[in-house]
Structure 1
Amino acid sequence: MPWTNQTGGQENGPNDGSKPAGEANPGGSQVKGPWGQPTKPAKRPPQDEPSGLRPPDFETLLSKWWEELRRHVPPGALGRNGLSAMAALAVGLWLVSGVYTVNPQEQGVVLRFGAFIKHTGPGTHYHLPWPIETAYTPNVKKINQVDVGFKQISDKQSEDITDESYMLTGDENIVDMQFTVNWRIKDANAWLFNVDLGAKNGDTVKAVAESAMREAVGQDRIDLIMTSHREEIQLRVQRLMQQMLDSYNAGVEIVGVKMQKAETPTQVRAAYLDVQKALADQDRKRSEAEAYRNSVIPEAKGAAAHIIQEAEGYKAQVVALATGEAQRFNAVYQEYKKAPEVTRRRIYIETMSQVMGSMNKVIVDDAAKGVMPYLQLPPMPSKMAPKQDEAPKAAEKADIQ
């Protein structure tokens, strides 16, 4: 038995069930619960707002849509003929939506239910309307550019992105690297089907470029990266990027890589300049030492060669003299065997002339008996005789004493 049909506790007679529980009876009494407490009337949802527990009223929505359509369509157009005309117009617009144009720098790619069927060249073409066929026209000749390490704000202003530009070199230094990558689509099918749709704006190329540059920078020294190896690094990064993108079958061709900036971070630039100055001084000292070595070693080699040549000449001279003396001795010996007495006397006379030739000689005849020979003394050496100007001084000094 429902609560509204309970008769207990009523003051003005039973309720016939025609009024909901909680409403006042005509006599002024109120329906009470089984334990005598008054019941509250239930709130009914409005007729035009669906309850959260019920699905929306489709008929109500359809009627609203119909009223909105009648408001914008001229009177009489919603009859049988008007609806037919509208249907024919809608079908015509649907068929015309299959017309598309391919520009000279683009390539048309037609899909039927998501599967590739053909390529189309520049011009106006037609494909079956969506959802049967779909046409894409990617630009395959445009040179796109991706900036890594910075963001171009205007033609003369850019913003650094340190998370991308700071890279670790092979000698454990940090370099601030900013570069640009130029690329284009070389395979429209691979670009459309193998690259994530969210990465069509170049995010994939940018990620590959940053990875390739970090690999190249991590294999070289910071001083060479900033000076002589810039061109080599650009070519190496281009080659690495092309290999990675080809392995992904991304349909992208890397046209070129250009390093915009390669320098030390601002925070350590002063210390780095000091280190470079010290390295420059080291190179200068090494160059000076090498120049001194290059000048001293040839001089020493020349002096050694000169001494060797002099020794060789002296050896040849001594050998030649000894050979000549031996030959002369042999010749004299041959003559001596022919006439020993004559040869002996001649040798004696030649020897005495050589020995006595430079001496003062006094010849005394043996027939002069008892005569005292007068031998003139040789003159006194000049260094033992007093000088002319010193003799008077010596005499005066003796007088004073």
Structure 2
Amino acid sequence: MFRLIKAIIDFLNNLDQRRGSQRSAPSTGSEEAKKKLKKFAVILPAIFVILAVLSSIYTIDPGEVGVIQRFGKLSSYSDPGLHFKFPFVDSLSKVNVEKVRRIEIGFRSERARMNVIQESLMITKDENIVDAQAIIQWKIKEPGHFLFRVANPELTIKNTAEVALRSVIGVTKIDDALTTGRDEIQVRTKEFLQELLDSYTSGVQITDVKLQIVDPPEEVKDAFNEVVRAKEDKERLINEAKAFFEDVIPKARGEAEKMIREAEAYKEQRISTAQGDTSRFNQIYSEYKKDKDVTWTRIYLEKLESILQRPKKVIGTDSSSGAINLLPLKEVFKD
């Protein structure tokens, strides 16, 4: 911009020198004053026009929103790209609505981590004291509200976040805060904080609440850690018992089902065998009724055959002498 103004001034000087060289008579003092006045009258509007043109053109980068104020009052918003505004009437404020900012509660980590005790010490529902530290992540969702509805947005977010976290910790028991209730504390703090900021029309969106630590004070920290470890051991044993239950019960049910199936199969087998024996007996009995002597003799011989099949030794007695005789029938029945 300054180079352009300098070029206009040099052009006007060269133009004045050309006019002076064409004149033959020497210039008087009044004529020199008139020349300077004319030069000034040309330069000043030119500079004004250049500044007006340059200030009326602006660009909005991706992720930003341009907030236009006309005579100090909110007028409109501008999306990313090249835009034009009225010079000397409109004022522009660029707001990054995609950037995620953070606020720290209970500690500071700008150079070296430093605890802020007056922020982190909080009272639980059962009137115990805990040291709670958190990070609040937020971004701008309404640029106009963020710029004009709250005097100091970051300080407001910090104070409101501390209030929300204290409120949630105040309705939570210390056992839950130290062990399994951390996720619930984060969710409830985020919801309550967003509700408070919306009531202030702050134009801020809370993206996340992350608890860094929730510990008892240093004076009783060791005792609380022992309690926490005992509860963790309890949970571990319960989980192991549940795992054993889930492992043994299905196996027992499978064994029971197997035994039932085997019993049912044995039942069916016994029934089939009994039915077959009954049918066979009925057939024999029907033949027996036709000719009892023949049938009785056949059955007797079949039974003796099954009893005396391939005997190793046969012991008998002599009715006359009463001596015990060993009949070597093994050789007789030998193949």
1:150 aligned to which of 107, 110, 123? 107
Distance 2:244 2:101 in 1: 56
What is the CA-CA distance between 1:229 and the residue it aligns to? 7.0
Structure ranking higher in helix proportion: 2
The 8 Å contact of residues 106 and 132 in structure 2, kept in 1 or not, is answered as yes
Q: Which residue of 2 aligns with 1:311?
A: 263
The alignment status of 1:375 with 2:327, answered yes or no, reads no
- How is 1:147-226 mapped onto 2 (pairs within 5 angstroms)? 147-151=104-108, 154-162=110-118, 164-168=119-123, 174-183=129-138, 186-187=141-142, 189-191=144-146, 193-195=148-150, 197=151, 200=152, 202-217=154-169
Question: Which one has the largest radius of gyration?
Answer: 1
Instruction: Determine helix, strand or coil for the equivalent of 2:316.
Output: coil
Amino acid in the other structure paired with 2:321? P
Structure 1 pair 238/335, CA: closer, same or farther in 2 (3 Å)?
Answer: same
Relative to structure 2, which stretch is displaced further, 279-288 or 175-184? 175-184
Structure 1: stretches of 5+ with no match in the other structure: 1-98, 128-134, 365-371, 379-401
Distance 2:139 2:253 in 1: 64
Instruction: Determine helix, strand or coil for the equivalent of 1:249.
Output: coil
Q: Which residue of 2 aligns with 1:66?
A: none
Normalising by structure 2, report the TM-score: 0.57
Structure 2: stretches of 5+ with no match in the other structure: 1-51, 79-83, 327-335
How many aligned residue pairs are there? 257
What is the CA-CA distance between 1:138 and the residue it aligns to? 5.9
What is the CA-CA distance between 1:342 and the residue it aligns to? 1.6
Distance 1:338 1:254 in 2: 105
Structure 1 pair 180/138, CA: closer, same or farther in 2 (3 Å)?
Answer: farther
The alignment status of 1:109 with 2:65, answered yes or no, reads no
Distance 1:351 1:117 in 2: 120
Deviation digits for residues 267-291 of structure 1 (CA, Å, limit 9, x no counterpart): 3321221112211221232233234
Q: Which residue of 2 aligns with 1:337?
A: 289
Q: Which residue of 1 aligns with 2:35?
A: none
Amino acid in the other structure paired with 1:266? E
Q: Which residue of 2 aligns with 1:368?
A: none
Instruction: Indicate the structure whose relative CO is greater, using CA pairs within 8 Å and at least 6 residues apart.
Output: 2
Amino acid in the other structure paired with 2:288? Y
The 8 Å contact of residues 130 and 174 in structure 2, kept in 1 or not, is answered as yes
Structure 1 pair 333/285, CA: closer, same or farther in 2 (3 Å)?
Answer: same
What is the CA-CA distance between 1:322 and the residue it aligns to? 1.9
The 8 Å contact of residues 111 and 118 in structure 1, kept in 2 or not, is answered as no
Distance 2:325 2:165 in 1: 106
Q: Which residue of 1 aligns with 2:217?
A: 265
Distance 2:141 2:247 in 1: 61
Q: Which residue of 2 aligns with 1:362?
A: 317
Normalising by structure 1, report the TM-score: 0.49
Please tell me the root mean square deviation across aligned C-alpha atoms, in Å.
Answer: 4.4
Structure 1 pair 354/286, CA: closer, same or farther in 2 (3 Å)?
Answer: same
- How is 1:85-124 mapped onto 2 (pairs within 5 angstroms)? 107=67, 109-111=69-71, 116=73, 118=75
Relative to structure 2, which stretch is displaced further, 219-228 or 179-188? 219-228
What is the CA-CA distance between 1:156 and the residue it aligns to? 1.0
Distance 2:248 2:116 in 1: 54
Structure ranking higher in strand proportion: 2
Deviation digits for residues 95-131 of structure 1 (CA, Å, limit 9, x no counterpart): xxxx9x899787453556xxx364698999535xxxx
